[in-house]
Structure 1
Amino acid sequence: MQAAVVSRFGEPGVFELTELPDPVPGPGEIAIDVSHAAVGLVDVYIRQGLYQEREGMPQPPYVPGLEVAGTVRALGEGVTDFRVGEAVVTLSGTGAEGGYASISVVDAALTVSLEGSGVDPAAAVAAVPNAATAYLALTEVAHLKQGERVLVHGALGGLASTFPGVARGLGAARVVGTARRASLAKAQASTLPYDEVVSSDDFADTLGEQRFDVVIDPVGGQVRTDSLRVMAPLGRMLLVGNASGDWEHTVPTNALWGANHALLGFSIGFYLPNRPDMVRPAARGALEAVRQGLVAIDARTLPLSEVAEAHRLLEEGGVGGRLLLTT
């Protein structure tokens, strides 16, 4: 099979396109003929070496890639829920290997059939894993209630852009987004169910007296602290990323105590392996949001040979929506 291999930690140029032996699924696994592989910021962070000391993270040489779509190639021992040739998409697991290749072996428990969904593989891998993340974060962690108000930072990002639609489907009364370039975001966000999009530079002042029950923060840094100013009593902030790259920023915890606020971290890759029973409910919620048009499918596709360019674009921070690799 053809694969993009990280030869060492470092800049995007560390990728090497190479031929590797075709992998064979083990017990509880399936092999997928990959049509599309998603490229995410976590792939960038791992390639840069930010997680190299964390247990379970891959060491070079390795093939990155958390989420893929394609068709089932082979079934491992004990797998009975799928058939060869079936269209599928994967949700994120704790590993970070195998997606940037023409064949990927994955945990069958983290794989979802697309049969009868009306969602094609490209749209599925662009939207479903992130929409499933949004669904689980809002239902299992933030416990979003009917009629609550939601603020989404990085409004057009691949993960963040799935939150407004899922929140609407769960009964949110108002959804507001923030973005670095608000004028551009307002035009692009017309396909997303935001009530308003404002500049992230001065969002707390712009929002004035508006208060939010749930804040989605994939950005981090000062945005995280400033968000405390617009949270309602008993408000919950979901920490789902750190796109700012500010790893030293801290939040004054006494401010949480005095204002009855909660900061809740959520990473689907570390959640689902411990709660495989939630894969199907999350996938159903995500697919339903996609079917209803609540989740915009904004994806840019590059061939696997341009994997370094895909990572460079993500590092520069100018990508709205999702980046996909085709094999």
Structure 2
Amino acid sequence: MHAMVINEFGGPQVLTETELPVPRPGRGQISIDTTHAAVGLVDVFFRRGDLAGRPDLPQPPLVPGLEVAGTVREVGEGVHDFQVGEPVVTLSQISLGGYASVTLAQAAMTVSLKGSGVDPAQAVAALPNATTAYLALTRVAHLQEGESVLVHGVAGGLAAPFVAVARSLGASRVIGTVSSQARIKDTEHLGLDQVFTSDRFVQDLDGRLVDVVVDPVGGEVRTASLDVLAPLGRILLVGHAARTPDIPLTGDDLWHRSAGMLGFEVGSYLHANPDAARPAAEKVVDLLAGGRLTLRVDELPMSEAAEAHRRLEAREVPGRLVLTI
């Protein structure tokens, strides 16, 4: 099979096209003839070695890619709910392997697209992060109907689905922030009530408070979010795209504000709780099928994976990048 392999940490050029043996599914697994693979910032972290200190994560040589769409090639022992040829999409898998013409996946982390009419590029671009949004907003932030939500980095692929999911859960107002004025146009399809730049959102909110903040950015944006949080508000920590560290807080900082900071890393959570994956995903498939969740998707052939990584690092991606295979 064709695959893009990282043999050593480094720049985009370390992504090397390689022929590898076709993997066979084990118990509880399926193999997928991959048609689309999502490219995310976490792939860049793996490639650069930012996560090299995590013993629970794959190390070089590795095939990056957490999420794929395609058709079932083969089912492993104990798998009875998928058929060969069935269109599917996977959720985020810390085992990686997506930049390849054949991908192994846990059946529990895979969702059928049969009969949905959902485009596979949209499915792999939006469904895994929409599932993250659903789990984070319902199980962690406990979003209540009528509450307001602020989503940082909303032009990015991780944060964008939070808008539609928050709406479906009854949010009364959804506001976003982006890194610059130029990126505001990249959010026009999301249906936000307002969009601000991340360096001015506190001033532009002008005293209006929000109940839930979704933060995949970190750094100064994370700390500033405390200034717009309503009493009993929650900040959801779902990533750290900023290259600067967080400003340290104490428990007293949260106590005096009656506020909470709640972390959610979907990969490790679903690895430990795989039975939570498919029910959550099925809750948001209808958002895609009904057109209530649509992302901007740029497609590149798998051979241009290095260019995809370059664009991500240069912040030239208004939505999500997907490799076609």
Q: Is the TM value for this pair above 0.5?
A: yes
Q: State the partner residue of 1:151.
A: 150
Contact 1:193 1:294 in 2 (8 A): no
In structure 1, runs of 5+ residues without a counterpart are none
Range 272-281 or range 25-34, more displaced: 272-281
* 1:58 to partner: Cα distance: 1.3
Q: After superposition, what is the alpha-carbon deviation per residue over 1:276-298, rounded to whole angstroms, capped at 9, x for unaligned?
A: 22222211122122123232221
Which whole-Å CA distance do the structure 2 matches of 1:140 and 1:102 have between them?
Answer: 35
Q: State the partner residue of 1:45.
A: 45
Q: State the partner residue of 2:286.
A: 288
In structure 2, relative to structure 1, the CA distance for the partners of 1:289 and 1:237 (3 Å cut) is same
Which whole-Å CA distance do the structure 1 matches of 2:303 and 2:164 have between them?
Answer: 33
Q: State the partner residue of 2:54.
A: 54
Q: State the partner residue of 1:298.
A: 296
Partner letter of residue 322 of structure 1? Answer: R
Contact 1:64 1:98 in 2 (8 A): yes
Which whole-Å CA distance do the structure 1 matches of 2:260 and 2:292 have between them?
Answer: 27
Indicate the percent of aligned positions where both proteins have the same amino acid: 55
Which whole-Å CA distance do the structure 2 matches of 1:154 and 1:277 have between them?
Answer: 29
Partner letter of residue 92 of structure 1? Answer: S
Contact 2:25 2:74 in 1 (8 A): yes
* 1:245 to partner: Cα distance: 1.9
Runs in 1 of length 4+ with deviation above 4 angstroms? none
Q: State the partner residue of 2:176.
A: 177
Q: State whether structure 2 residue 134 is matched by structure 1 residue 135.
A: yes
Contact 2:183 2:318 in 1 (8 A): no
Contact 2:175 2:192 in 1 (8 A): yes
Contact 2:299 2:323 in 1 (8 A): yes
Give the secondary structure class of the aligned counterpart of 1:160: coil
Which whole-Å CA distance do the structure 2 matches of 1:141 and 1:255 have between them?
Answer: 20
Which whole-Å CA distance do the structure 2 matches of 1:230 and 1:104 have between them?
Answer: 43
Residue in structure 1 matching 2:215, options 202, 214, 217: 217
In structure 2, relative to structure 1, the CA distance for the partners of 1:142 and 1:248 (3 Å cut) is closer
Q: After superposition, what is the alpha-carbon deviation per residue over 1:210-259, rounded to whole angstroms, capped at 9, x for unaligned?
A: 10110000111100000000000010001111111223543344211110
Structure 2 matches for 1:30-179, cutoff 5 A?
A: 30-95=30-95, 97-179=96-178
Give the secondary structure class of the aligned counterpart of 2:261: strand
TM-score by length of 2: 0.97
Contact 1:161 1:296 in 2 (8 A): no
Q: State the partner residue of 1:201.
A: 199
Contact 2:130 2:162 in 1 (8 A): yes
Contact 1:36 1:122 in 2 (8 A): yes
Q: State the partner residue of 2:8.
A: 8
* 1:105 to partner: Cα distance: 0.7
* 1:318 to partner: Cα distance: 2.4
Partner letter of residue 199 of structure 2? Answer: D
Which whole-Å CA distance do the structure 2 matches of 1:212 and 1:52 have between them?
Answer: 36
Which whole-Å CA distance do the structure 2 matches of 1:24 and 1:270 have between them?
Answer: 24
TM-score by length of 1: 0.96
* 1:141 to partner: Cα distance: 0.5
Which whole-Å CA distance do the structure 2 matches of 1:191 and 1:279 have between them?
Answer: 27
Range 274-283 or range 5-14, more displaced: 274-283
Range 1-10 or range 273-282, more displaced: 273-282
Partner letter of residue 196 of structure 2? Answer: V
Which whole-Å CA distance do the structure 1 matches of 2:37 and 2:323 have between them?
Answer: 5
Which whole-Å CA distance do the structure 2 matches of 1:36 and 1:272 have between them?
Answer: 22
Range 7-16 or range 220-229, more displaced: 7-16
Range 79-88 or range 281-290, more displaced: 281-290
Range 51-60 or range 81-90, more displaced: 51-60
In structure 2, relative to structure 1, the CA distance for the partners of 1:317 and 1:276 (3 Å cut) is same
* 1:184 to partner: Cα distance: 4.0
Q: After superposition, what is the alpha-carbon deviation per residue over 1:46-79, rounded to whole angstroms, capped at 9, x for unaligned?
A: 1111111212211111101110000000011111
Q: State the partner residue of 2:23.
A: 23
